Copies of this chain bind each other. A is one copy, B any other.
Amino acid sequence: MSTHQTDTGTRTRTDTGAAAPAPAALFTAERSAEIVTDSFARTLDPRLREILGSLVHHLHAFAKDVDLTVDEWAAGIRFLTETGHTCDDTRQEFIMLSDVLGLSMLVETLAHPADGQYTESTVEGPFHMVDSPPRALGDTIDEAAAGGEACLVTGRITDAEGTPVAGAHVDVWQADADGYYDVQRPGEVPDRNLRGLFTADDDGRFWFRTIVPRHYPIPTDGPVGGLLRATGRHSFRAAHIHVEVTSPATRTLTTHLFVADSPYLDSDAVFGVKESLVRDFAEVDDPDRAAAHGLPNPFRHVDFPVTVQRDG
């Protein structure tokens, strides 16, 4: 099978140390992005080819801009490997990395630019890992009842014309009063605590009971925590309830409801805060209303009118 030149003498060609003829395409730092992009020329999916071309262009430009050293590259490989090893069924360290680098928020904002007409979106975050349990309107999502201020959340789903989106699904999830999601405390709290999937009524309305969420740190015991410490950044997210609204007739909305008196609204660790999503959770002193909802008096209340975009 070999095609090399046979040399029957005792001194072979290679003993001169001469290099063999050049291959057709050679790597150079100057043309590196072009050479690698060319290697993707046979990609059948044009969108994948476009994405990879841009990715390679920016990745190589980054390495050249900072003159990335081999040791720094190796540190990056270790960081990515540890990030991967930190991911499991209840922990998504790569989403957290994307979050603290602002990429998640950027992608979400590119998909849903603010236009003043529809409720703004924000990041989904790494904790929507299990399906929320279906619950009846008015139910509580706080099965643990381990503390926190009782709260009533109300809202109405409409389209841009104000027409209610009857039967829309409203998926909510939030951290507990200690700042942990259920998946971070397996065995300590009921499964799927502080999660609920509600179905809006014929008028597009939804309401449920919960506790006022508190600000909390994102998990810092992994590589992303190390990154935050190395860069002098805190790990706190402003207090929020996740809200995802879906219906067959409308575009999915992924957003948060932020608590107006929460710290860290102006330095949220994942850049998730948008002005229009910050709402007062006002105290209500009304024994009759409290009793009607099965809440202690006084309680806190937030109303979240949601405007979603109809498909087509």
A131 at the interface (CB under 8 A from B): no
A197 at the interface (CB under 8 A from B): no
Query: In the complex, are the beta carbons of A98 and B81 less than 8 A apart?
Result: no
Of the candidates B49, B286, B300, the one whose C-beta lies within 8 Å of that of A231 is: B49
**Can you list 12 residue pairs at the A/B interface with Cβ under 8 Å?**
A4-B283, A10-B286, A13-B282, A14-B301, A22-B278, A27-B102, A32-B271, A42-B233, A43-B231, A52-B231, A63-B110, A84-B87
A91-136 CB contacts (< 8 Å) to partner B = 92, 94-95, 98, 101-111, 113
Which residues does A use to contact B, with CB under 8 Å?
2-8, 10, 12-17, 19-29, 32-33, 35-36, 39-40, 42-45, 48-52, 54-70, 72-73, 77, 80-81, 83-85, 87, 92, 94-95, 98, 101-111, 113, 149, 230-233, 238, 260-261, 265-267, 271-286, 289, 300-305
Complex CA distance for A83 and B84, rounded to whole angstroms: 7
Query: In the complex, are the beta carbons of B59 and A28 less than 8 A apart?
Result: no
Q: Kindly report how many copies of this chain are found in the complex they form together.
A: 2
The residue of chain B having its C-beta at the shortest distance from the C-beta of A108 within the complex is B70
Residues in B neighbouring A49, C-beta threshold 8 A: 231
Query: In the complex, are the beta carbons of A54 and B66 less than 8 A apart?
Result: yes
Of the candidates B33, B104, B238, B301, the one whose C-beta lies within 8 Å of that of A12 is: B301
Residues in B neighbouring A56, C-beta threshold 8 A: 101-102
A interface majority secondary structure: mixed
Interface centre among A63, A275, A277 (most CB of B within 10 A): A63
Of the candidates B27, B36, B95, B301, the one whose C-beta lies within 8 Å of that of A77 is: B95
The verdict on A44 contacting B232 (CB below 8 Å), with A4-B280, A36-B101, A109-B28 known, is: yes
- How distant is A208 from chain B, measured CB to nearest CB, in Å? 15
Complex CA distance for A77 and B52, rounded to whole angstroms: 15
Complex CA distance for A44 and B72, rounded to whole angstroms: 17
The verdict on A27 contacting B280 (CB below 8 Å), with A20-B260, A68-B110 known, is: no
Residues in B neighbouring A279, C-beta threshold 8 A: 14, 19-20
Complex CA distance for A42 and B231, rounded to whole angstroms: 6
Of the candidates B40, B95, B98, B266, the one whose C-beta lies within 8 Å of that of A24 is: B266
Complex CA distance for A15 and B207, rounded to whole angstroms: 13
Complex CA distance for A150 and B256, rounded to whole angstroms: 67
Complex CA distance for A19 and B62, rounded to whole angstroms: 40
The residue of chain B having its C-beta at the shortest distance from the C-beta of A7 within the complex is B282
